Amino acid sequence: MDSNTTTTDQLPTTIEEVLAAQGYTQESFDEWCEGLEPDEVAYRQAKLISKTLNGETIMDMADTDQKKYFPWFWVNLDPEKPAGFGLSYFVYDCSRTGAGIGARLALKDPKTARHAGEHFPEVYERFFAGYPRP
């Protein structure tokens, strides 16, 4: 198994585990994010998720030979949500040229992208939709 291949059984499955892996407590993370909009907090969480799940692998957008993966979601109408919709994890995708999402959110392989989408949909939902709003 090469260094870019992931076994997901030891990856974090909660945001608390991701924060701990990056040296944060929930309290210190909340202090760092004080005053930010919900989507900005979720962006910070998503970056930490990617950094944690990628481990030692550094995603280099200048390296066009390095595949980069992202979780993809279905958008579901949901009147219970403030924005009127929610996300359901669907699949991962690979980007080889150009990207709508930068290297900070790229994941190193399909298993890692699937893991992120299955275990952290609420983070991506807040990042994309920007809610809940006060």
Tell me if 28 is assigned to some domain. yes
Closest CA to 47 of 66, 62, 32: 32
Residue range 119-129: mean pLDDT, rounded: 88
Tell me if 115 is assigned to some domain. yes
Tell me if 2 is assigned to some domain. no
- Number of domains, the chain: 1
Record the pTM.
0.78
Tell me if 64 is assigned to some domain. yes
Q: Which residues pair with 74 in a beta bridge?
A: 88
Q: Where are the alpha helices (DSSP H) in the chain?
A: 15-21, 26-32, 38-54, 110-119, 121-129
Within 13 Å and on the Cβ side, how many CA atoms surround 13?
Answer: 4
Instruction: End-to-end CA distance of the chain: give it in Å, rounded.
Output: 47
Q: Which two tokens stand for residue 46?
A: 């998503």
Tell me if 6 is assigned to some domain. no
Q: CA–CA separation, 126 vs 5, rounded Å?
A: 28
Q: How confident is the model at residue 131 (pLDDT cuts 50, 70, 90)?
A: low
pLDDT tens readout for residues 5-46: 556 678 999 999 999 999 999 999 999 999 999 999 999 999
Tell me if 89 is assigned to some domain. yes
Residue-range definition of the domain harbouring residue 83? 12-129
Tell me if 68 is assigned to some domain. yes
Tell me if 134 is assigned to some domain. no
pLDDT tens readout for residues 74-113: 666 666 765 555 555 554 545 444 445 567 899 999 999 9
| Residue 120 CB burial class (10 angstroms; 0-12, 13-18, ≥19) | buried
